[in-house]
Amino acid sequence: MASPLPIITSGSGTPLLLIHGFPHDHTLWTPQLRDLAGDAWVIAPDLRGSGGAKDPAPVQTMALHVQDLIGVLDHLGVEQAVICGLSMGGYIALALLKAHPNRVKGLILCNTRAGADDDKAKEGREATAKKALTEGVAVIADEMIGKMVAPNASPTLRTTVRDLMARQSPSGVAASARGMASREDQREFLPTITVPTLIITGSADTLIPPSESEAMHRAIPNSKLVVIPEVAHLSNQEAPVDFNREVSAFLKAL
């Protein structure tokens, strides 16, 4: 079968499915595609509506993303993968584990949370969706860049991340924002998780504060929590050496 999503892969070994956040694409994972290839078969798709993946549903729900990602695993002949998601990718990773536990060998949750949006957050999502459609995504990229990376991030990284966000399509951004607003609260699911779980965040993440990761760590049996100092929302890009070391050790221990 054809892959439902464009995918970039590197390396060989344990399949490691990397799920990007919002409003990102697979290039979020450039440091992992480059540096984890010796440890894993790294698989980085563009989620529908992001990067080169066209035709999002009007509301790209977590369930629709999960369906696409299972299609990617089927296309590659992967029975079980380590599922790693950052932020929105973490929301999707939890939904994938809940719906398809037999496809998951390990779970890595980065800069994410288990709860759903409250009414105020849902209003914010709708405002983001409308702004993307009427004013374009560059405006959103300019608004979000200050929360994506820490103030001490290099100008090069800042520009790379801002451009990564700005080149996403308005319809894809709107669909993803509306999809996140519709997601389920997964907090009651956490204590039932039995796969090995690594939780990574940055001490300076203001978009999803480290307290959310601490709460997931308390709720998920036998999980490990890593808080990388002076790093904000994109821990995999801001501190790739620390991030990759933790992921590599997690993969080796599986």
Nearer to ligand MLT, 21 or 45 (CB): 21
Binder among 180, 190, 220, 247 for ligand MLT (CB under 6 A): 180
Interface map 69-108 toward ligand MLT (x if CB under 6 A) = ------------------xx--------------------
Residues 210-249 contacting ligand MLT, CB under 6 A: 233
CB of 208 to ligand MLT, least distance (A): 7
CB of 89 to ligand MLT, least distance (A): 7
Residue 167 DSSP one-character state: T
Binder among 11, 21, 170, 172 for ligand MLT (CB under 6 A): 21
Report the C-alpha gap between 167 and 153 in whole angstroms.
Answer: 21
Stretch (H or E) spanning 19: strand 15-19
Report the C-alpha gap between 62 and 181 in whole angstroms.
Answer: 10
Structure-token match 């595609």, residue found: 33
Longest dimension (CA), the chain: 48
4 vs 52, 84, 165, 243, CA distance in Å?
11, 19, 22, 29
22 contributes a contact to ligand MLT by CB under 6 A: yes
Helix (H, G, I), strand (E, B) or coil at 132: helix
149 in Cβ contact with 229 (< 8 Å): no
CB of 13 to ligand MLT, least distance (A): 27
Binder among 59, 195, 207, 227 for ligand MLT (CB under 6 A): 207
Nearer to ligand MLT, 11 or 23 (CB): 23
CB of 79 to ligand MLT, least distance (A): 28
CB of 146 to ligand MLT, least distance (A): 12
Helix 119-135 and helix 170-181, axial crossing angle in degrees, nearest 10: 170
Nearer to ligand MLT, 105 or 178 (CB): 178
Nearer to ligand MLT, 180 or 193 (CB): 180
Cβ-proximal residue to ligand MLT, closest one: 21
Nearer to ligand MLT, 12 or 211 (CB): 211
93 in Cβ contact with 60 (< 8 Å): no
Structure-token match 């990067």, residue found: 51
Residues that contact ligand MLT, how many (by CB under 6 A): 7
Residues 127-156 contacting ligand MLT, CB under 6 A: none
Q: Which of 60, 61, 79 is nearest to 70 (CA)?
A: 79
Label residues 7-34 b or e (16+ Cβ within 10 Å = b): bbbbbeebbbbbbbbbbbbbbbbbbbbe
CB of 253 to ligand MLT, least distance (A): 27
Report the C-alpha gap between 91 and 85 in whole angstroms.
Answer: 7
Residues that bind ligand MLT (CB under 6 A): 21-22, 87-88, 180, 207, 233
